[in-house]
Amino acid sequence: MILAGADVMQLAQLSGTSLDPLKGIILPMIGTVVVIILAFRSAVAFAEDKPGKLVGAWVGAVLAVMVCFFPDTTLNILKGLGQLVLGGQV
């Protein structure tokens, strides 16, 4: 199949499309759902008097918020931790 010149131009325009606006919409929605689920699990752990599960739910919620709402900052933190542990450039 031979592509016409107009089809090639449309393909070139599509390849340069950025998904950053979509990432800005989807990640906060996913983060909110995960935090709601973890808040429910935290309440259940508190009611059952299980402090280990409670702390685990809190840590999970903090990580979910960091990754979903502040992805660039989280990546920089992880790079810094990798440099601290491994030394040198990561």
Number of domains into which the chain is organized: 1
Residue ranges making up the domain that contains 26: 21-86
More confident residue, 4 or 20: 20
Distance between CA atoms of 71 and 30, rounded to whole angstroms?
13
Q: Which of 23, 38, 18, 22 is nearest to 68 (CA)?
A: 23
Is position 6 within any domain? Answer: no
Q: 72-81 burial by CB neighbour count: b if 16+ within 10 A, else e?
A: eeeeeeeeee
- Could you report the per-residue pLDDT of 21-77, keeping only the tens digit for each? 777 888 888 888 988 998 999 999 889 998 898 898 899 889 888 988 888 899 999
**3-state secondary structure (DSSP) of residue 87:** coil
Is position 34 within any domain? Answer: yes
Enter the pTM of the model.
0.62
